[in-house]
Amino acid sequence: MELANRNSSLTGNISVLDKNIAALQANIKSLNSEVASLSNQNGQLGQQTANQQSQLNKTKEELQDQQQKLMRLQSLLEQQKAQGKLLKDKMAEALKGFSSNELTVVQKNGKVYVVSARKP
pLDDT digits (tens, 9 = 90+) for 16-26: 999 999 999 99
Average pLDDT over residues 3-25: 91
pLDDT of 15 strictly over 80: yes
Q: What angle do CA 117, 118, 120 make, to 5 degrees?
A: 145
Sequence-distant (≥ 6) Cβ neighbours of residue 115 within 8 angstroms = 103, 104, 105, 106
DSSP-derived 3-state class of residue 94: helix
Is the entire prediction scored with pTM above 0.85?
A: no
Q: What does the pLDDT average to over 51-73? A: 98
